[in-house]
Every structure is written in C-alpha cells, then in structure tokens.
C-alpha cells in the first residue's frame, strides 16, 4: 500500500466526505486507517461524512441486495462501447472478468457493514465526536466533528516527536 500520511498537512480541511470508499477496503485496519487520515486532515471543528454499504437492506427498495456474507464480490457491467482500452479483452481475462459481445463484467470487492460494526469503527478514531450514525438508502452513514488533534496514523504514541 502507498503511504499517504504526508500527502497533505494536518488540519487543512473544513470538511471531508467519503462516499462509497471504505467498503472497498478489504481489512479492518485499512478501513480504520482511512478514517484516521480523514480525521487528520480536518481542522478542529471540521466535519466529516462517511457512507458505506449496509448489510441490512430494505428489501424492495431501489438497489437492495441480499448478502450471504459481509465480504462479497459484486458484478459490475461495463458496456463494451464505453471501453476505451485497446487491451480490454486481455485485461478482463487477467482480472477474471467475464465478457459477452456487449458487456465486460468486473467483480468488485465490497465489505458490507452491520450497524454495530460501523459504529464501533468510528469509536476507534481518536479526536472525533460522532454526531450521528444513520441508515440512508441501504447505506450506513456517519457524520462526525473533529474535537481535538489527531495522532498521525500508523505512528505509535511513543514514536511521535513533540
């Protein structure tokens, strides 16, 4: 993975939004690291908003799915007429995508969150106050405010220089 800890200065953002991002991260540590970096970028009083797919789905609603587990591969269909790569067929076979004359199907990884898991993940982020966790269109959403300086993600408290 790429170290992004020094990409931007801490405390430079009034707000940060993460829509449909952390559910593509395969490990809990990776998902937590994303939230730590997000909190790091916020100024004190800055607000964050995160949306991720929910395990709980309102059946009959638009886009509702039934998940057999929390870690799933979901097919996504790209119409071949929109594929711009000259090597699309080769790429599709390399990543295990299936194709027909009209579509290329990619299988994208998702981790779907239970309400408790989503809430607990935010409880591990120091320096934020969770203002609201709510269910919206088959997603869990969290709105939070940065209330104190954040430690640098990936750096133990004993390793930091004052």
Rounded to whole angstroms, how far apart are CA atoms 37 and 19?
15
Same domain, 55 and 23: yes
> Is residue 28 assigned to a domain?
yes
Same domain, 31 and 54: yes
pLDDT tens string 76-93: 888 776 666 655 565 556
Same domain, 21 and 55: yes
> Is residue 3 assigned to a domain?
no
Same domain, 18 and 50: yes
What pLDDT is stored for residue 57 in this prediction? 92
Same domain, 79 and 101: yes
Same domain, 107 and 79: yes
Same domain, 55 and 117: yes
Give the predicted TM-score (pTM) of the model: 0.78
Q: What is the CATH number of the domain that holds 130?
A: 3.40.50.150
Q: Domain tally for the chain?
A: 2
> Is residue 40 assigned to a domain?
yes
Phi and psi (nearest 5°) for 98? Answer: -100, 160
Range(s) of the domain holding residue 126:
13-59+112-148
pLDDT tens string 121-162: 999 999 999 999 999 999 999 999 999 997 766 544 433 333
Strand order in the sheet with 42-53: 13-19, 42-53, 139-146, 128-136
Helices (H), 14-95: 28-41, 88-94
> Is residue 155 assigned to a domain?
no
> Is residue 52 assigned to a domain?
yes
pLDDT tens string 20-52: 999 999 999 999 999 999 999 999 999 999 999
Same domain, 124 and 47: yes
Same domain, 122 and 90: no
């Amino acid at each position: 993975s790429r170290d992004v800890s020094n990409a931007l200065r801490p405390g430079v953002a009034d707000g940060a939004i993460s829509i449909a991002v952390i559910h593509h991260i395969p490990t809990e540590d990776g998902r937590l690291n994303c939230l730590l970096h997000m909190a790091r970028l916020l100024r004190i009083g800055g607000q964050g908003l995160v949306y991720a797919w929910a395990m709980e789905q309102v059946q009959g609603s638009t886009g509702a799915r039934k998940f057999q587990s929390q870690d799933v591969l979901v097919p996504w269909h790209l119409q071949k007429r929109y594929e711009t790569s000259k090597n699309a067929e080769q790429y599709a076979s390399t990543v295990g995508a299936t194709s027909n004359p009209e579509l290329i199907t990619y299988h994208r990884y998702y981790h779907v969150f239970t309400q408790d898991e989503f809430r607990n993940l935010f409880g591990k982020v120091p320096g934020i106050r969770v203002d609201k966790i709510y269910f919206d269109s088959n997603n869990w959403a969290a709105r939070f405010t940065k209330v104190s300086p954040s430690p640098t993600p990936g750096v133990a408290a004993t390793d930091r220089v004052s």
